[in-house]
A and B are shown apart, each in its own frame.
Chain A
Amino acid sequence: MKLGDLTELASRNLREAVLRNSLTTMGISVGVASLVALLSLGVGLQQLVDRSVARAGLFDTLSVRSRQSAPFGQPGGGRRNPRDGQEFEPPRPLDDAARKEIAALPNVVEVNPEVRFTAEARHDPISQLVMVAGMAASSQNSGTLDGLTGHFFSNPDAEEAIVQGDLGKRLVDAGQSPNSLVGQEITLRFAQRQALPPPSQQAPTDAPNQAVGPDEEAMGFSIVPSEKKFTVVGVTPTSEAGGQVGFNNAGIYLPLSVAEKLQVVQQGDLRDMSRSSVAQGTRYAALNVRATSPAAVAQIETSVSHMGFAAFSLIDVTRNLRTFFAIFDMFLGIFGSLALAVASLGIINTLVMAILERRREIGVLKALGASDRDVRKLFFAEAGVMGLAGGVFGVLLGWAIGRAIQFATMIYLKRQGMNPPNIWSVPWWLVLGAIAFAVVVSLASGIYPASRAARLDPVEALRYE
């Protein structure tokens, strides 16, 4: 029998026992709905995490540092055997030349120095020790500044600051809102490098241990305290944790080029001074490299490593995160499928009942020329039609349940004073996959009844009243 005839006869048969078949189909719908609802939650949560990490620039960014890290004697330092010769090769400095070379790599969007330092923030009469970070214009839309009161830096060279809300609370009088800082000035006090003049211009000294490097031009620097005033143009919302949290966060953000010009003493400056291979020009503690896409990060990471630098990205961390979500989704799927498994028992029951009721009909069909295979296919088609209808209704039901849960979650989170995220997502692959799964489960459930119907002896079946 052709597929069109099979489907037509199957649909017709299902319409005959409309109540029983509708209840069975509803059972499948509930199973599919629970599957869709749970998996949508898993997918939604995964997308929420992906969005947050991507917006914070963690997926498409890698941090590059010089390999001259820990000294021998410190944990992790001097791991290589000095006898292998490699230890005596001077590590490549992270300087302007390296920055240009990295910027020229394919799929690199921008290379910015990482400027982070500790400073004292003063808003008279209150002062607070704080972490200050330079922020590139490209970070404006990252999640760091979500809910900002005020505005982003007016230009890359503006002497402006954005204050983290929790720090702002400490810099204002009790009872005042941290947002009142917008438009006011704060003073930053920090340790600044000041280059020393060449030896010819220095006063003679009798010090026996005067450091003399191989390069006479690189004479080092002195460290002096320095102060600078900044106008607060923005305040970020206070966080639940009550302080700065998360990767790359700081208490105060300055425009990156302004922060660079402050010549603040960076971590590693003293170590660099103590080495013989002192380079000329600007030296960077770290460079943040932004790629065109997360997919390009691994390739850039390899290239940077070949250039002689240490590169670190969160790709490995996110891989683990994806593994976690894959397992999480699998368990949600298993729980969701339990309802469908129960529904499959309903299908078996319905079809077995149908065989008993339609015993004579099966006999007539065989007498008219239906083969065992035709009868089997007919019952399969009935199971498949129930699965298809149950799958479609189940997806709609699951979607409706999801919307209801999303709505309830939004109301709850708003009452808790939190920004409600979208934790619900029903992608196309889930819609089609759930329907296909329902059909497959239904067909599997139909195997036993269909085989039983096909095996019926037509002579016996025709005698059945």
Chain B
Amino acid sequence: MTSNGFAIRAERVSRQYRMGEAVIRAVNEISLDVGAGEFLALLGASGSGKSTLLNLMAGLDRPSAGAILALGRDLAAMSSEELAAHRNRTVGMVFQSFQLLTRMTLEENVELPLRLAEVPRGERPERVREALQRVGLSARTKHRPTELSGGEQQRAAIARALVNQPQILLADEPTGNLDSKTGEEIMSLIAGIHRPPSGPGRTIIMVTHERQLAERYADRIVTLSDGAISREERLR
């Protein structure tokens, strides 16, 4: 389900914060279309507004002005419950610092979105197993995140993001905490999710400041600067 072939559409989106007397314009009237099945890389220096834009697309934050449409639905018009359902089923999120719950095993971490989606208990083990198998962690299901390497933790986080089969994967610097070799592995995994050997692909929006990775894997690079789009490059 898309709107005119767009997975995400941002229309003159702004996000401002007040810090005392000052007003910080983290995102300033950005308009951007992300096509269904596209791999978009958001590039920019720290504080350029790329993570803020990603959070707005994820429904973790609400814009101060403008609109964001995900699969044709305006996030700003959604209730808190609808926005939670959007985060649970429409998008999957991957973070730089993995954000796995350390007191849970991998399979329990991956099961969390299924619990929130009220998936019947009987269906969950199979879906968890499939998700972990897809990221190559079938043998580590009973391990806790602290017992895994950074790469394995990020793979577990990707499994968790995909377990509810969302159409859009939002990744906020997924390789930021990894060495280059492990970063390459994770990017290969994400690329595989974008264009799997079989079955439908997914829309990927990835925040990064590693231009080389973006150029190698993304279909398009959008560079942000001071909360606005400064450059747009179509690669494929």
A→B interface (CB under 8 Å): 1-2, 4-5, 9, 12, 16, 360-361, 363-374, 458-459, 462
Q: What are 28 A-B pairs with beta-carbon distances under 8 A?
A: A1-B115, A1-B118, A2-B115, A4-B121, A9-B115, A12-B103, A360-B99, A366-B60, A366-B84, A366-B87, A367-B58, A367-B87, A367-B93, A368-B93, A368-B116, A368-B160, A369-B85, A369-B87, A369-B88, A369-B116, A369-B117, A371-B81, A372-B80, A373-B81, A459-B55, A459-B60, A462-B60, A462-B99
Interface residues in chain B, defined as those with a beta carbon under 8 Å from any beta carbon in chain A: 55, 58, 60-61, 80-81, 83-85, 87-89, 93, 95, 99, 101, 103-104, 112-113, 115-118, 121, 160, 164
A16: chain B residues at CB < 8 Å are 103
Nearest residue in A to B85 (C-beta to C-beta)? A369
Nearest residue, chain A, Cβ from B61: A459
Known: A1-B116, A364-B101, A458-B60. A369 touches B84 (CB 8 A): yes
Q: Number of A-B pairs whose CB atoms are under 8 Å?
A: 66
Please determine whether B84 and A2 come into contact, CB atoms closer than 8 angstroms: no
Report B-chain residues with C-beta under 8 Å of the C-beta of A360: 99
* A366–B88 CA distance with the chains assembled, in angstroms: 9
Taking CB atoms, residues of chain A closer than 8 Å to B83 are: 371
Q: Are B116 and A370 in contact (CB under 8 A)?
A: yes
Not counting A458-B60, A462-B99, a sample of 18 additional A-B residue pairs whose C-beta atoms are within 8 angstroms of each other reads A2-B115, A2-B118, A12-B104, A364-B101, A366-B87, A367-B93, A368-B87, A368-B88, A368-B113, A369-B85, A369-B87, A369-B88, A370-B88, A371-B80, A371-B81, A371-B84, A374-B84, A462-B60
Contacts of B84 in A (CB 8 A): 366, 369-372, 374
Q: Do A365 and B87 touch (CB < 8 A)?
A: no
Identify A368's interface contact among B103, B112, B118, B121, CB under 8 A.
Answer: B112
Q: Which residue of B lies closest to A2 (CB)?
A: B118
B61 x A369 contact (CB < 8 A): no
Q: How far is the CB of A84 from chain B (nearest CB, A)?
A: 77
Complex-state Cα separation, A370 to B81, whole angstroms = 9
Contacts of B93 in A (CB 8 A): 367-368
Interchain CB contact (< 8 A) of A369 among B95, B99, B113: B113
